[in-house]
Amino acid sequence: MSGGGWYRVKRGLPALVVALATVAVLVAAGATGARAGGVPLPEPAKGAGSACVADTAFMRRYHMQMLVHQRRDTVHEGIRTKQFSLKGCIDCHQVKGEDGAPVKVSDGRHFCRSCHDYAAVSIDCFECHASVPEEADQSAAAPDAENEAVAALGAYVHERKTGEGAVK
């Protein structure tokens, strides 16, 4: 394909138009939260109350770091402020199933899976932690907050399985 200046101009213009149109379509899809390029975007259910434990945009981006910090402060330092408590997330972000009971993480509608499935993120937190609020849960995980032996186990497991940072 040779093509002089004329060819390049004629060819470049439609390409630019297509590119701009594509951007417009993507922006529109993003604004409605609908679709981008035919792939459904995640639509997490709205949490309870009027606000999250921190700015929503911040939470979207940094919840994993905050959870790890909270866990370290709690398990290692024994600090029990509740701002980024995993139990808190589960309380406010429960999604009810057809029977009116909160769905467990085995259900694709679970809040924590609404994005993770899309982003191909997999977390093992719910092997131990309850994925539904406590009163709705039978599988006791991390029951007594003040139990030192449990906290020590948590610290041990977290270290072995996760190091301090990323968790697989």
* From 10, 60, 96, 109, residue interacting with ligand HEC (rule: CB under 6 A): 60
Q: What residue type is 21 in one-letter code?
A: A
Separation CA 117–CA 30 (nearest Å): 18
Verify binding: residue 76, ligand HEC, rule CB under 6 A: no
> Count of alpha carbons within 13 Å of 82, Cβ hemisphere only?
7
State which of positions 134-153 bind ligand HEC (CB under 6 A): 142, 145, 150-151, 153
* From 94, 102, 103, 112, residue interacting with ligand HEC (rule: CB under 6 A): 112
* From 36, 62, 63, 136, residue interacting with ligand HEC (rule: CB under 6 A): 63
Q: Regarding beta strands 39-40 and 35-36, do their DSSP bridges make them parallel or antiparallel, or are they unpaired?
A: antiparallel
Verify binding: residue 95, ligand HEC, rule CB under 6 A: no
Verify binding: residue 94, ligand HEC, rule CB under 6 A: no
Burial 122-157 (b: 16+ CB within 10 A, else e): eeebbeebbbbeeeeeeeeebeeeeeeebbeebeee
* From 29, 36, 95, 115, residue interacting with ligand HEC (rule: CB under 6 A): 115
Residue 13 vs 152, nearer CB to ligand HEC = 152
Strand stretches in the chain, DSSP E: 35-36, 39-40
Verify binding: residue 131, ligand HEC, rule CB under 6 A: no
